[in-house]
A and B are shown apart, each in its own frame.
Chain A
Amino acid sequence: MKLRGPLLLIAPSLIFLTALFAWPLVAGLSQANGADIRRMLDDAYFWPAARNTALLIVVLIPLQFALAIAMALLLRARPRFAGVYFYIWVIPLAISDLAAGLVWLAVFTDRGYLNSALSQLHIEGYAWLSYQHPVTMFLAVVVAELWRSTSLVFVIVVAGMQSIPRDYDEAAAVFGANYWQRLRKVILPQLRPSLQVALILRTILALETFAVAQALTGRNMPLLVGETYQWYAVLQNPNVATAIALVILAVSLLAAFGYLRALRS
């Protein structure tokens, strides 16, 4: 085994990742100067984008964790057709945020399926995605993201639940604990490591959301990564785009350290 030492085996991946990670990072840091950062901060879209991104994380993540835990608990109760349910519930795992945006565009657009269904019930339609209705526009993005990204949390929670011995739960039931007591005192505490990982992973991924909003609202609901795209592709100013990218990277770095600390404990 001395011929191929383990360091030799990991060296290619180490070199590759460093090259594609450290090199652009250093290049990026030298690319964006003070003037670019000022221009980024003065842009009318920057602060709304930062606010929308934060708001999306704050609203979406609690909702999707509640949904994912509920879904995992439902499967834990071993319903009939559990296999079919599991299959359909994990399909969004492989769907991109661009595709999710387009799917929900078919639902929420002015002459889309939601308004069609409403009109058949003789309810007047509503311009869900109009920039005049920022609340429904935001909610449409939340629904689309809830639809797309909850399955990731769901799979992590189900995997975590499988490692909890059923005995504990059954013992608590024997001693007269009802469902809510068992959920709060037995199941959720043991799920904590899985939930922590899912939480931080989802927070970092949610920071990168942009194509959903792009597909549903164009630039009417700006998000931080969407602004990187705008500055680079539409306004052709890579320096400001880099400045925004570095902001996202810094925030993610903070979350990543949380991630690593959670894993170590």
Chain B
Amino acid sequence: MRRHRFGLQLACVAITLFFGVPLYLIALAAFSSRESLDRFPLPLLPTDLSAETITTFLGSTGVVGGYLNSLMVGLSTVVLALVIGVPAGYALARHAFRGRDPYQLFLLLTRALPIVVLSVPLARIFLQTGLYDTTYAVTLLHTALALPTTVLITSAVFVGVPREHEEAAQVFGASPARAFARVVLPQALPGIAAVAMFTFVLSWNEVLGATILTLNQRTLPAHVLTTLSDSPLAYRFAGGLALILPAIVFVAVMRRYLLNMWGTTLR
């Protein structure tokens, strides 16, 4: 039994190293000076830390703009996806209506298809409508990507709020809208916050569509991708870390919700 526990820990540590060491190395690379990145062999321990590489990256053209665009697109996507998705999620959770099953199938189908590959024809449509190269265009695409998941997760969140509470409020004279706003929403809020985080990360990470739909209004990943081939290694490492940081915050905040979220929506 003792040897068994030891083997278990050993395997867990090995897997943790596989996932953790690359994260350590990219942070190390991004916080090394350019001169120490030119050295070989590279130091494997943080002996020579400097903010030079990361500040050069942040100071280069397009990076701050990219950050702001990514933030804009991410937040607008969250708002739009919630405005459109929460009512639909509520309807799925509370009503048995005709067309419910086809609607759910439709959601699954759109989620399963790579909507991103439709970016190329979408770019032409946006060119004609004057939306091309705006953050709005990217927001629309990202909302379409996120919406099926938003609806499915919010419906799972609303299923978790007891129907009796809502009915009790209505018995005591609250209108349906008021019962929803004062009784259901407060209980559903943590779950909806989780959905919002999830949507934001999806938008933050999306590269291809954002690259195709913009020229100057690049999001950060789109900017990093398009400048990849003619930028020095130090710049790429700093870009890698800049893209990852929100992910680490996301997972730290979302750890409690992760299993529920994926568990309920993917089965």
Name the segment of B59-67, B71-79, B109-117, B182-190 touching the other chain: B109-117
Our pick among B40, B247, B266 for the contact of A91 (Cβ within 8 Å) is B247
Q: Taking the complex as formed, is B90 at the interface, i.e. its CB lies under 8 A from any CB of chain A?
A: yes
Name the segment of A39-47, A49-57, A181-189, A209-217 touching the other chain: A209-217
Q: Taking the complex as formed, is B168 at the interface, i.e. its CB lies under 8 A from any CB of chain A?
A: no
Q: Which of B215-236 contact A (CB under 8 A)?
A: 221, 224-226, 228-229, 233, 236
**Distance between Cα atoms of A245 and B8 in the complex (Å):** 45
Q: In the complex, which residue of chain B has the Cβ closest to the Cβ of A219?
A: B229
**Distance between Cα atoms of A248 and B40 in the complex (Å):** 42
Q: Taking the complex as formed, is A165 at the interface, i.e. its CB lies under 8 A from any CB of chain B?
A: no
Q: Taking the complex as formed, is A126 at the interface, i.e. its CB lies under 8 A from any CB of chain B?
A: no
Q: Taking the complex as formed, is A103 at the interface, i.e. its CB lies under 8 A from any CB of chain B?
A: yes
Closest chain B CB from A179 CB (angstroms): 10
Q: Taking the complex as formed, is A17 at the interface, i.e. its CB lies under 8 A from any CB of chain B?
A: yes
Q: Taking the complex as formed, is A128 at the interface, i.e. its CB lies under 8 A from any CB of chain B?
A: no
- Chain B residues within an 8 Å CB radius of A80: 9
Our pick among A94, A95, A106, A241 for the contact of B120 (Cβ within 8 Å) is A241
Total residues of chain A contacting the partner, CB 8 A: 103
Total residues of chain B contacting the partner, CB 8 A: 98
Contact call B41/A10, Cβ cutoff below 8 A? no
Q: Which of B52-91 contact A (CB under 8 A)?
A: 83-85, 87-88, 90-91
Q: Taking the complex as formed, is B172 at the interface, i.e. its CB lies under 8 A from any CB of chain A?
A: no
Contact call B258/A4, Cβ cutoff below 8 A? no
Contact call A85/B84, Cβ cutoff below 8 A? no
Q: Taking the complex as formed, is A173 at the interface, i.e. its CB lies under 8 A from any CB of chain B?
A: no
**Distance between Cα atoms of A79 and B16 in the complex (Å):** 13
Contact call A245/B205, Cβ cutoff below 8 A? no
- Chain B residues within an 8 Å CB radius of A98: 205, 207, 221, 224-225, 243
Closest chain B CB from A220 CB (angstroms): 12
Closest chain A CB from B144 CB (angstroms): 4
Our pick among A95, A105, A160 for the contact of B247 (Cβ within 8 Å) is A95
- Chain B residues within an 8 Å CB radius of A9: 87-88, 90-91, 95
Closest chain A CB from B212 CB (angstroms): 6
- Chain B residues within an 8 Å CB radius of A210: 208
**Distance between Cα atoms of A165 and B146 in the complex (Å):** 33
Contact call B92/A232, Cβ cutoff below 8 A? no
How many A-B Cβ pairs are below 8 Å? Answer: 295
Contact call A13/B112, Cβ cutoff below 8 A? no
Contact call B251/A94, Cβ cutoff below 8 A? yes
Contact call B120/A242, Cβ cutoff below 8 A? yes
Contact call B207/A3, Cβ cutoff below 8 A? no
Contact with B along A119-157 (1 / 0, CB 8 A): 110000000000000000000000000010001100110
Q: Taking the complex as formed, is A69 at the interface, i.e. its CB lies under 8 A from any CB of chain B?
A: no
Q: Taking the complex as formed, is B135 at the interface, i.e. its CB lies under 8 A from any CB of chain A?
A: no
Contact call B221/A74, Cβ cutoff below 8 A? no
- Chain A residues within an 8 Å CB radius of B11: 70, 74
Q: In the complex, which residue of chain A has the Cβ closest to the Cβ of B40?
A: A111
Closest chain A CB from B253 CB (angstroms): 10
- Chain A residues within an 8 Å CB radius of B15: 67, 71, 74, 85, 89
Task: Add 10 more A-B contacts to A20-B118, A225-B114, A225-B116 (CB < 8 A).
Answer: A17-B144, A17-B148, A21-B113, A28-B118, A70-B11, A79-B9, A86-B255, A91-B23, A94-B246, A94-B248
Contacts from A to B (Cβ < 8 Å): 1, 3-7, 9-10, 12-14, 16-17, 20-21, 23-25, 27-28, 31, 67, 70-71, 74, 77, 79-81, 84-99, 102-107, 109, 111-113, 115-117, 119-120, 147, 151-152, 155-156, 158-160, 162-163, 193-194, 197-198, 200-201, 204, 207-208, 210-211, 214-215, 218, 225, 228-229, 232-233, 238, 241-242, 245-246, 248-249, 252-253, 255-256, 259-260, 263
